[in-house]
Amino acid sequence: MDDLATLLGRVALRDRAAFPRLYDMTSAKLFSIALRILRDKGDAEEAMQEIYIKVWQRAERYRPEQGSPMTWLAAIARNHAIDLIRARRPEAASIDDAFDLASDSAGPEEDAINASEGKRIDICMQTLESDKAEAVRRAYVEGLSYQELADRYKVPLNTMRTWLRRSLMKLRECLEQ
Protein backbone atom coordinates (compact mmCIF):
# COMPACT_ATOMS: atom_id res chain seq x y z
CA MET A 1 0.00 0.00 0.00
CA ASP A 2 1.29 3.44 -0.94
CA ASP A 3 1.91 5.97 1.77
CA LEU A 4 0.46 9.46 1.46
CA ALA A 5 3.79 11.21 0.84
CA THR A 6 4.55 8.86 -2.04
CA LEU A 7 1.09 9.31 -3.51
CA LEU A 8 1.37 13.09 -3.26
CA GLY A 9 4.72 12.89 -5.03
CA ARG A 10 3.17 10.84 -7.80
CA VAL A 11 0.23 13.25 -8.07
CA ALA A 12 2.75 16.10 -8.33
CA LEU A 13 4.13 14.26 -11.37
CA ARG A 14 0.56 14.12 -12.74
CA ASP A 15 0.18 10.38 -12.22
CA ARG A 16 -3.54 9.89 -12.84
CA ALA A 17 -3.51 6.40 -11.31
CA ALA A 18 -2.20 7.73 -7.98
CA PHE A 19 -4.89 10.39 -7.64
CA PRO A 20 -7.86 8.05 -6.99
CA ARG A 21 -5.80 6.14 -4.41
CA LEU A 22 -4.93 9.40 -2.69
CA TYR A 23 -8.60 10.35 -2.74
CA ASP A 24 -9.65 6.98 -1.28
CA MET A 25 -7.12 7.28 1.54
CA THR A 26 -7.93 10.88 2.49
CA SER A 27 -11.45 11.83 1.42
CA ALA A 28 -13.23 10.74 4.61
CA LYS A 29 -10.97 12.89 6.79
CA LEU A 30 -11.10 15.91 4.46
CA PHE A 31 -14.87 15.59 4.09
CA SER A 32 -15.29 15.60 7.87
CA ILE A 33 -13.21 18.78 8.10
CA ALA A 34 -15.26 20.48 5.37
CA LEU A 35 -18.53 19.29 6.93
CA ARG A 36 -17.60 20.53 10.41
CA ILE A 37 -16.75 23.96 9.05
CA LEU A 38 -19.51 24.36 6.47
CA ARG A 39 -22.21 22.54 8.49
CA ASP A 40 -24.01 21.43 5.33
CA LYS A 41 -23.50 18.08 3.60
CA GLY A 42 -24.20 19.48 0.12
CA ASP A 43 -21.78 22.36 0.61
CA ALA A 44 -19.14 19.98 1.95
CA GLU A 45 -19.56 17.64 -1.03
CA GLU A 46 -19.21 20.57 -3.41
CA ALA A 47 -16.18 21.82 -1.52
CA MET A 48 -14.55 18.39 -1.82
CA GLN A 49 -14.44 18.71 -5.61
CA GLU A 50 -12.68 22.06 -5.34
CA ILE A 51 -10.38 20.81 -2.58
CA TYR A 52 -9.15 17.93 -4.71
CA ILE A 53 -8.68 20.22 -7.70
CA LYS A 54 -6.40 22.29 -5.47
CA VAL A 55 -4.60 19.14 -4.34
CA TRP A 56 -4.02 18.15 -7.98
CA GLN A 57 -2.80 21.64 -8.87
CA ARG A 58 -0.60 22.14 -5.78
CA ALA A 59 0.78 18.67 -5.07
CA GLU A 60 4.27 19.72 -6.14
CA ARG A 61 4.31 22.24 -3.25
CA TYR A 62 4.16 19.54 -0.60
CA ARG A 63 7.48 18.99 1.15
CA PRO A 64 7.72 15.92 3.44
CA GLU A 65 10.35 17.57 5.64
CA GLN A 66 7.84 20.32 6.51
CA GLY A 67 5.10 18.14 7.95
CA SER A 68 2.87 15.16 7.43
CA PRO A 69 0.92 14.81 4.19
CA MET A 70 -2.38 14.61 6.06
CA THR A 71 -1.66 17.88 7.85
CA TRP A 72 -0.91 19.52 4.48
CA LEU A 73 -4.10 18.12 2.94
CA ALA A 74 -6.17 19.09 5.99
CA ALA A 75 -4.86 22.65 5.74
CA ILE A 76 -6.04 22.84 2.12
CA ALA A 77 -9.48 21.53 3.10
CA ARG A 78 -9.75 23.79 6.14
CA ASN A 79 -8.59 26.90 4.26
CA HIS A 80 -10.94 26.23 1.36
CA ALA A 81 -13.94 25.72 3.64
CA ILE A 82 -13.10 28.89 5.57
CA ASP A 83 -12.77 30.79 2.28
CA LEU A 84 -16.27 29.60 1.37
CA ILE A 85 -17.62 30.89 4.68
CA ARG A 86 -15.88 34.23 4.13
CA ALA A 87 -17.42 34.48 0.67
CA ARG A 88 -20.90 33.79 2.05
CA ARG A 89 -20.87 36.07 5.08
CA PRO A 90 -17.71 37.80 6.15
CA GLU A 91 -18.51 37.97 9.85
CA ALA A 92 -15.44 37.67 12.05
CA ALA A 93 -17.26 35.54 14.62
CA SER A 94 -18.22 32.93 12.00
CA ILE A 95 -14.63 32.64 10.81
CA ASP A 96 -13.34 32.27 14.38
CA ASP A 97 -15.94 29.53 14.95
CA ALA A 98 -14.76 27.79 11.77
CA PHE A 99 -11.17 27.76 13.01
CA ASP A 100 -12.34 26.24 16.30
CA LEU A 101 -14.40 23.61 14.49
CA ALA A 102 -11.48 22.69 12.25
CA SER A 103 -9.46 21.37 15.17
CA ASP A 104 -8.24 17.83 14.58
CA SER A 105 -7.75 17.03 18.25
CA ALA A 106 -8.79 13.74 19.75
CA GLY A 107 -9.35 14.90 23.30
CA PRO A 108 -8.39 17.21 26.16
CA GLU A 109 -4.89 15.79 26.54
CA GLU A 110 -4.10 16.32 22.87
CA ASP A 111 -5.70 19.78 23.05
CA ALA A 112 -3.34 20.70 25.88
CA ILE A 113 -0.29 19.37 24.03
CA ASN A 114 -1.29 21.19 20.83
CA ALA A 115 -1.93 24.43 22.72
CA SER A 116 1.44 24.19 24.42
CA GLU A 117 3.23 23.48 21.13
CA GLY A 118 1.28 26.26 19.43
CA LYS A 119 2.40 28.74 22.10
CA ARG A 120 6.01 27.63 21.71
CA ILE A 121 5.81 28.09 17.95
CA ASP A 122 4.19 31.52 18.36
CA ILE A 123 6.95 32.59 20.75
CA CYS A 124 9.62 31.37 18.36
CA MET A 125 7.91 33.04 15.38
CA GLN A 126 8.21 36.34 17.26
CA THR A 127 12.01 35.98 17.16
CA LEU A 128 11.88 36.32 13.36
CA GLU A 129 11.74 39.63 11.54
CA SER A 130 8.11 40.42 10.73
CA ASP A 131 8.44 40.01 6.94
CA LYS A 132 10.28 36.71 7.34
CA ALA A 133 7.69 35.41 9.83
CA GLU A 134 4.89 36.37 7.45
CA ALA A 135 6.69 34.63 4.57
CA VAL A 136 7.04 31.46 6.68
CA ARG A 137 3.31 31.53 7.53
CA ARG A 138 2.34 32.10 3.90
CA ALA A 139 4.60 29.28 2.70
CA TYR A 140 3.87 26.62 5.29
CA VAL A 141 0.34 27.44 6.41
CA GLU A 142 -1.23 28.96 3.31
CA GLY A 143 0.80 26.87 0.86
CA LEU A 144 2.18 29.69 -1.31
CA SER A 145 5.04 28.66 -3.56
CA TYR A 146 8.53 30.13 -3.32
CA GLN A 147 7.90 31.96 -6.59
CA GLU A 148 4.61 33.44 -5.35
CA LEU A 149 6.36 34.64 -2.20
CA ALA A 150 9.30 36.06 -4.16
CA ASP A 151 6.87 37.99 -6.35
CA ARG A 152 4.87 39.21 -3.34
CA TYR A 153 7.97 40.46 -1.49
CA LYS A 154 9.69 41.65 -4.68
CA VAL A 155 12.86 39.65 -4.06
CA PRO A 156 14.67 37.11 -6.27
CA LEU A 157 13.55 33.48 -5.97
CA ASN A 158 16.85 32.37 -4.41
CA THR A 159 16.60 35.15 -1.83
CA MET A 160 13.17 33.86 -0.82
CA ARG A 161 14.53 30.33 -0.53
CA THR A 162 17.32 31.64 1.68
CA TRP A 163 14.86 33.61 3.83
CA LEU A 164 12.72 30.55 4.40
CA ARG A 165 15.63 28.16 4.99
CA ARG A 166 17.28 30.50 7.52
CA SER A 167 13.96 31.23 9.20
CA LEU A 168 13.22 27.51 9.59
CA MET A 169 16.69 26.93 11.01
CA LYS A 170 16.14 29.74 13.51
CA LEU A 171 12.73 28.31 14.45
CA ARG A 172 14.20 24.83 14.88
CA GLU A 173 16.92 26.19 17.19
CA CYS A 174 14.34 28.08 19.23
CA LEU A 175 12.03 25.06 19.52
CA GLU A 176 14.90 22.81 20.62
CA GLN A 177 15.71 25.04 23.61
CATH of the domain at 21: 1.10.1740.10
pTM (whole model) above 0.85: no
Degrees, nearest 5: CA angle 110-84-27? 55
159 and 118 in a single domain? The answer is: yes
Q: Are residues 3 and 55 in the same domain?
A: yes
Angle at alpha carbon of residue 130, lines to 156 and 172, rounded to 5°: 85
pLDDT per position as a tens digit, 119-160? 777 888 888 898 998 888 888 777 778 888 899 999 998 999
For position 100, what pLDDT does the model report?
A: 54
124-133 CB contacts, 8 Å cutoff, 24+ apart: 124/170, 124/171, 124/174, 124/175, 125/171, 127/170, 127/171, 127/174, 128/167, 128/170, 128/171, 132/163, 132/166, 132/167, 133/167
Overall domain count for the chain: 2
> What b-and-e string marks burial along 52-70, b requiring 16 or more CB atoms within 10 Å of the CB?
bebbeebbebbeeeeeebe
Residues 64 and 132 both lie in one domain: no
Q: Identify the domain containing residue 2 by its residue range.
A: 1-104
pLDDT at residue 25, as a whole number: 94
pLDDT in tens, 58-104: 999 988 887 889 999 999 999 999 888 887 754 444 445 555 555 55
Residue 149 belongs to domain with CATH number:
1.10.10.10
Domain identity same for 58 and 143: no
Residues 50, 100 within the same domain: yes
